[in-house]
Structure formats: C-alpha cells, structure tokens
Chain A
Amino acid sequence: MIDREQVLHVARLARLRLADDEVEQMARELSGVLDHVDKIGELDLEAAEPTTHVVALENVLREDEPQPSLPRERALEQAPDSGEDGFRVPSPQA
C-alpha cells in the first residue's frame, strides 16, 4: 500500500505538483496497480538476465564528423521565455 506521505515524496522526486484531492486518488490508484504488479514477486527469476535492449546491437558508432546543428535562434524560438541568447528561468532561490 502506498500512503499519502509516499505519494508526496515521489511527487517531489518527479517535480509534480498534485492538488490535495489528487494525492488521495493517486495513493488509491497506485496501490491498486502495484498490488497487481506484485504478482511478479512470485516468480523465480534468479537465473534470468535483465533485458535492457531486445535487438542484439553493440558499439553503434558513427563517423566523428562535424555536422551543422540547429541554429541558436531556431532552438530558442519555442521557449516560453528567452533572452540574451539563452533560455530564461526564474531564480533557483527566490
């Protein structure tokens, strides 16, 4: 079971503001899903290697050649706030 405190802790880790009613609902719904997921705890998986990638690939390399990158003004175009050739954000310690 996930309680309210755990929900708030995970929400902080995920940088996600939840409204009060969302916190209660999240605790209930996550508990329900995790109850189901917990069934994989019954399997004997000691001998199984974890899968990180399904296609056998290794050392995918490319030539180390300079390529044009996105022009600065194009990269900044979609930002909610930009200036002085950069992305503008509120102060970290207001």
Chain B
Amino acid sequence: MSAEITDLTAAAAIGRIDAGEAGAGEVFTAWAEAAATDELNAYLWRADPDADRDNGEGPLRGMPLAVKDIFCTEGIATTAGSRILEGYRPPYSATAVERVEQAGARLLGKTNMDEFAMGSSNENSAYGAVQNPWGSGRVPGGSSGGSAAAVAGGLAPWALGTDTGGSIRQPAALCGIVGLKPTYGAVSRYGMIAFASSLDQCGPLTRDVTDAALLMRALEGRDPRDSTSVGIEGRVELPSRESLEGLRFGVPRELSSGAEGIEPGVAEVFERALETIAALGAEVDECQLPHAGHGISAYYVLAPAEASTNLARYDGVRYGMRAEADDLTAMYERTRGDGFGAEVKRRIMLGTYALSSGYYDAYYGRAQRVRTRITEDFTQAFEKFDFLVSPTSPSVAFGLGARTSDPLAMYMSDYCTVPMSLAGIPAISIPAGLAAPPEGGEELPVGLQIAAPAFAESRLLDASFALEREIGFGS
C-alpha cells in the first residue's frame, strides 16, 4: 500500500504527480483537508479545500505552500500577527510569494507568528500562541512558529518563513524540521512586512533538505523592486552528496557545548552530531569567533533601532486600525498604544532610545562596529573552514509562559543564531536528535546549525543532505 499524500515530502509528492499516480488537485485537497484539522493555532487563514484546483504546471506542480502572515498576499488578510493590521487586505503580493506561485506553488494558508516577527516563542501573536506538535504546552519557537508547527504537525508539506535573528532556524530546531536562512540579498524582501531591513531574509521551512533546496531554487533572484536583492549566482542545485570527505567543519567555542546557557541535553546531541560529521569523512576542529558572544547585545540595539523606524508607518492613516481621538497626535499615540502588543512596544522604545540624541553613538554606533567585528570573525574562520557548526538553539522547546516575564531570557534564545544574521551569511538548522528538557519529561527535538560563507547555499544544502541521511531523523 502506498503512503498517504500527506506523509510525503513536497519533492516526493511532485514525483508522484509526474508518475501519473496522483493529480495536482488531489494533492492540494489532501493538504487543505489536513490544514483544516489545525488544533495548534498554526494558521490564521486557510485556503478552501474545495476550491477549483489546477493542472499542476511549473516545477512545483501545484504543490500547496503555507506562508507566514508577514508576506503580503493580494486580497487576502495579512496581519503580521498584529492587531494594528487587523482586516488589512494588501493591494499587491510579495515578490517571494509571486515567485513561488510562478513556479507552480499554490497558497495553502497564512501562518501565525510573533507580532511583526518579534519573538522566539510565538507567544507575542495578537491571535494567540501556537502549540508545538511535539508536546502540548510547549512553544514552537518563533517568530515563524506557525510555519514550523504546520510543517512538523503534518498540516502543510512546507512553508515560507522569515529570519531576522533566528526566526526560521530556531522554530525549525524546536519543531524538529529543516529551516534555511539564506544569505542576505538572496531573496527579495519586497512585500515582506519589514522588521529590521538590514537583517530580514525570507527562507524555507521543510521536512527535509531536498525540499529546502527545491523551494530555495524558486525563491532566490534579483528583484528590481528590492534594490538590496542580488540573487544567487548560478542556480541552487538539488543536493546529492553522500560523504563529507575533504570538507572542514569548524566548531566555534563561543557557540558550542561549553557556552553559557546551552542545556546539557542539547550539548550531548551536538557532540554526537560532531562525531557523525567526522565519521562521514570531514575534518572537525575547534575555532574561535571572539566577538560572537556580543551578538545578542549588538542585535538588540540594531534590530529594535531599525524596527522603531520601520514601524513608524503604522499610524492609523493609510491602513489597519485607528483609535479615534480629537487631534492628530493623540490619534497616532492612541492607535499605536492600542494596536501594538507589549513586545513590539518594548522594541520600539528600545530602538527609539538607542537612536535618540545623546545615545546614538553609545548604542547604535557601537553596535554597528560590533557587527563589523563579528563579520570579520566569520571571514577569518572561513579561511580555514568550509562550514561552522553549533547547536541552533541553546534549549529544547520550553514551556508556554516560561520566559514571557523575562525579556532578556527570551532574547537569549537567539544566542547561537544572531551572529550569522549580523554577518548576513546563510545558515541552516537540521534535526540532529532528541533530548529531554532540563526539568525532565518527554524528549524533544534538537537542531544542528550549519553556517556557510555568503551565497554558498548550494554547498551548504549539499553537506546538510549528507548529514541528514546519516542522522536519519524523521519528523
């Protein structure tokens, strides 16, 4: 008996369509029916399972795709997880969405997220928290928590997310799936609601590395509407590597097992992954990223500073909600006070403070210089190594509510992922195994993060593929 359509990866489903064993419309309906059973609060909007479906043209053959609610979709509600955008129906679609649709993908649903992508647990959504499919009462990570939970929970074959400081990689790790943050500039940001423009990047969340490559191939490319986009030279190759011979893997001391805050269970799985890398023929050696430990500090100045300017546009004038008031300034202040959630307000305040007169040099200016140092650290490390590996997240999925009263503890969730974001380089999280949380209980997924030099996505996916085969971890 053949597997159910919803048990297949996207690439396998496409294979079945090509073999004439399934119709594209049938595949879409199967997934739309699966999405309709969502009990994780992963979706904010879902496509109608009975809608008239196509043909299956293009390389993606009509495959359904879940899309984070941060991407504008023409005529379809887009909230970015915020009350301030409640009811907003964009007059245009994001380039990333247009590109995957041109390649034949079809919108399956819009996924829940931390408000304006600010968060590491999905608890900052104005539309309710998302449950991790691995254990009720656990967070799926964030900010692309709905996308990760949908893929891991069998509610979508694959999904689009965005990553500013770890928002694709960390939820992928906590939900036991694959998540790729591409090089800054690989994918257009046009129509992707802005959080921190010098860091934001769109990428895939998938069941396996092959699907990530397939989706990445459709996504990347220069877009005249985003002048920071450059695309990837050549095309993204589908991975096929079986050994890691001849490759050098660096283990940054600052981000690996001994680093502060990394749970023992996570460290143990990570050490086993290093053994697997060596067993596949790679050289594995310790290295240093001396400034990586300052990543969180730099990031939590730069990202909020950029956010405070980007979010100035939500003023109750052109779109979204408005709180009525007698004069204009009061209308702005009330709209923003009522429309934004606590974390978004905190970041706007932090960013406005860091950019305000008298503090600019001490905070924003210094953080930009730390960013330069971190980028230099990576450049030096990549002179000796092809890839750098670390745990993706210091912890396994934590409990709902466990970190909501301590912003800094929540921010530390991004400890291992933020340095790559600041340097603009690509990094992937692949499932590496399971570990029990420190307080005990059911084992939960641990992600392995692999980082590569800018625009080396094809090589990164190829090495990840070899590792994925060897680790043999299925979600």
Which residue of the partner chain, among A13, A49, A57, contacts B228 with CB atoms under 8 Å? A57
Task: Report yes or no: A89 in contact with B337, Cβ–Cβ below 8 A.
Answer: no
Task: Report yes or no: B373 in contact with A93, Cβ–Cβ below 8 A.
Answer: no
Residue of A nearest to B230 (CB): A55
Query: Could you say which residues of chain A place their CB within 8 Å of the CB of B328?
Result: 89-92, 94
Name the interface residues of B260-301: CB closer than 8 Å to any CB of A. Answer: 291, 294, 296-298, 300-301
Task: Report yes or no: A30 in contact with B331, Cβ–Cβ below 8 A.
Answer: no
Q: Secondary structure of the B side of the interface?
A: helix
A-B contact count (CB 8 A): 176
Query: Could you say which residues of chain B place their CB within 8 Å of the CB of A92?
Result: 327-329
State A29–B469 Cα separation when bound (angstroms).
44
State A16–B348 Cα separation when bound (angstroms).
9
Q: Is B60 close to A, CB under 8 A?
A: no
Q: Secondary structure of the A side of the interface?
A: loop
Q: How many interface residues does chain B have, given as a range?
A: 35 or more
Query: Could you say which residues of chain A place their CB within 8 Å of the CB of B337?
Result: 16-19
Which residue of the partner chain, among A38, A45, A55, A79, contacts B319 with CB atoms under 8 Å? A79
State A49–B366 Cα separation when bound (angstroms).
10
Q: Is B390 close to A, CB under 8 A?
A: no
State A48–B422 Cα separation when bound (angstroms).
15
Task: Report yes or no: B407 in contact with A91, Cβ–Cβ below 8 A.
Answer: no
Query: Could you say which residues of chain B place their CB within 8 Å of the CB of A11?
Result: 349
Q: Smallest CB–CB gap between B347 and chain A, Å?
A: 10
Which residue of the partner chain, among B296, B336, B367, contacts A17 with CB atoms under 8 Å? B336
Task: Report yes or no: B333 in contact with A77, Cβ–Cβ below 8 A.
Answer: no
Query: Could you say which residues of chain B place their CB within 8 Å of the CB of A2?
Result: 353
Binary flags per residue of A26-45, CB closer than 8 Å to B gives 1, else 0? 10011011101111110101
Task: Report yes or no: B228 in contact with A43, Cβ–Cβ below 8 A.
Answer: no
Which residue of the partner chain, among B198, B324, B365, B408, contacts A33 with CB atoms under 8 Å? B408
State A52–B305 Cα separation when bound (angstroms).
13
Q: Is B375 close to A, CB under 8 A?
A: yes
Residue of B nearest to A48 (CB): B369
Task: Report yes or no: A37 in contact with B301, Cβ–Cβ below 8 A.
Answer: yes
- What residues make up the interface of B, taking CB atoms closer than 8 Å to A? 88-92, 183-185, 198, 224, 227-228, 230, 291, 294, 296-298, 300-301, 308, 312, 315-322, 324-334, 336-338, 340, 342, 345-346, 348-350, 352-353, 356, 362-363, 365-373, 375, 407-408, 411, 422-424, 454
